[in-house]
């Protein structure tokens, strides 16, 4: 049942209880006996005609004649006291029921308030989720690619490291650290300590769809060329970048690419060392 339905039910119940109490009082009240005997219990309204269609209590309110004798006056006072006691009894009963109904109404109000609070909380969560989804859709996303521009045998290669903002808003305070290493033996055992190297240079700005390029050149000595052919030397270009989106959130990425031993000048991702937020 809704809160509105609960309030209507409580109101109807209160009305029914009130009407039932008044009706019960009127039924239980001593009727006026018409005749020659006086007094409420013996007929104070003995000299009055019966009013058709009215209960005893209504008759007494309508006529209410003055007492003819002292005895009538005493009987009338006694009847009035009994009537007042009966009124007090039913007032107590009705008041008790009304208090219970008030408690029920108060409980229904508490339930309604709690439901309203839950609805408000759910609404706040929905708004927060919608905001997060909108930010994810609109924020800046920077990815890195390598573009080889020139290869001279297996001795020299020129390549560009390209950072592209594929998001829908600019990337602010963009910084890059980049290094190329010639590693003998297993490159997986090499210590690519990104935490130990600081960012260098000024902070930049990449608009939506904009690219930033860093030009690099790799030259191998004769001894390194032979080791590269035998897969005893691995050329790895690695680094990190950081930036902020327009919503004030910080993001970072790390990258690691190696040159294929059988394809000088071509870079591929390593199994690890590539991650972005």
Tens of pLDDT, residue by residue over 136-184, are 899 999 999 999 999 888 889 999 999 999 999 999 999 999 999 999 9
Task: Provide the CA 92 distance to its chain's centre, in angstroms.
Answer: 46
Q: 């709690």: which residue's tokens? A: 114
What does the DSSP 8-state code read for residue 222?
A: H
| Predicted local distance difference test score (pLDDT) of residue 48 | 44
Mean pLDDT of 52-64: 53
- Exposed, middle or buried by CB within 10 Å (0-12, 13-18, 19+), for 44? buried
CA torsion, ordered 37, 38, 41, 45, to nearest 10 deg: 110
Whole-number pLDDT of residue 9: 60
pLDDT at residue 220 greater than cutoff 80? yes
H/E stretch holding 125: helix 70-138
Over range 222-226, report the average pLDDT.
Answer: 89
Rounded to whole angstroms, how far apart are CA atoms 70 and 259? 128
Q: How far is CA 98 from CA 25, 90, 95, 225, in A?
A: 17, 12, 5, 99
**Contact call for residues 177 and 198 (beta carbons, < 8 A):** yes
| pLDDT-derived band at 229, boundaries 50, 70, 90 | confident
Banded model confidence at residue 90, pLDDT cuts 50, 70, 90: confident
Report pLDDT digits (tens) over 199-215.
777 788 999 999 999 99
Which carries the bigger pLDDT value, residue 47 or residue 91? 91
pLDDT for the residue 14? 60
Q: Compute the half-sphere exposure of residue 156: CA atoms within 13 Å on the CB side of its CA.
A: 4
Residue holding tokens 């191998």?
220
Distance CA 273, CA 277 (A): 13
Residue with tokens 């000595």: 221
| Region 114-124 average pLDDT | 80
Distance, C-alpha 208 to centroid of its chain: 32
Per mean pLDDT, which of 12-21, 75-84, 99-108 is the most reliable?
Answer: 99-108
Q: What backbone phi and psi angles, to 5 degrees, belong to 239?
A: 170, -165
Contacts of residue 213, Cβ cutoff 8 Å, sequence gap at least 6:
160, 161, 162, 163
């Amino acid at each position: 049942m809704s809160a509105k339905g609960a309030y209507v039910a409580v109101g109807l119940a209160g009305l029914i209880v009130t009407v039932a109490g008044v009706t019960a009082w009127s039924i239980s009240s001593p009727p006026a006996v018409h005749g020659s005997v006086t007094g409420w219990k013996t007929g104070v309204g003995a000299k009055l005609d019966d009013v058709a269609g009215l209960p005893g209590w209504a008759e007494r309110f309508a006529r209410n004649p003055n007492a003819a004798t002292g005895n009538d006056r005493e009987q009338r006072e006694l009847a009035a006291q009994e009537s007042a006691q009966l009124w007090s009894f039913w007032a107590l009963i009705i008041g008790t029921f009304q208090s219970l109904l008030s408690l029920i109404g108060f409980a229904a109000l508490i339930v309604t308030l709690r439901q309203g609070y839950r609805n408000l909380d759910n609404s706040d969560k929905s708004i927060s989720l919608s905001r997060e989804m909108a930010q994810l859709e609109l924020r800046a996303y920077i990815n890195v690619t390598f573009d080889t521009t020139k290869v001279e045998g297996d001795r020299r290669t020129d390549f560009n490291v390209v950072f592209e903002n594929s998001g829908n808003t600019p990337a602010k305070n963009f910084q890059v650290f980049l290094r190329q290493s010639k590693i003998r033996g297993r490159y997986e055992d090499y210590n690519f300590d990104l935490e130990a190297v600081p960012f260098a240079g000024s902070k930049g700005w990449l608009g939506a769809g904009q690219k930033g390029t860093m030009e690099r050149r790799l030259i191998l000595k004769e001894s390194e060329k032979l080791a590269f052919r035998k897969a005893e030397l691995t050329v790895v270009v690695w680094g990190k970048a950081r930036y902020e989106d327009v919503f004030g959130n910080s993001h970072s990425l790390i990258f690691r690419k190696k040159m294929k031993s059988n394809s000088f000048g071509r870079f591929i991702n390593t199994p690890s060392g590539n991650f972005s937020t």
